[in-house]
Amino acid sequence: MKQVEIYTSPICGFCVRAKRLLDQKGIPYVEYDVFSVPGAREEMMERAAGRRTVPQIFIAGEGVGGCDELHALEREGRLDAMVA
């Protein structure tokens, strides 16, 4: 399974929704809390072409966007293939 990384904050409802989808599908992920991990927000912004909002999700190092994009991949039936 390809590595999934998600940048989050503890007060973000969209982060909760994205993690819930990954958890329901049994997809493991590495989480970086941009509030508590020093330098995480800057790293996220660099990796995500300057985007400042959370969540930012990466599959195998490729940015897929945020919660809405993750759910769109699931609706389109593309998420499983991306992480396989």
Please list, in sequence order, all residues whose beta carbon lies within 8 angstroms of the beta carbon of residue 60, skipping any fewer than 6 positions away. 2, 3, 82
Q: pLDDT tens, 17-62?
A: 999 999 999 999 999 999 999 999 999 999 999 999 999 999 999 9
Instruction: Spell out the domain ranges in the chain.
Output: 4-83
Chain centroid to Cα 76, Å, comes to 17
Give the pLDDT mean for 1-26. Answer: 97
The domain 4-83 is placed in CATH, from the list 3.90.180.10, 3.30.70.660, 3.40.30.10, 3.30.420.40, at 3.40.30.10
pLDDT value of position 83: 97
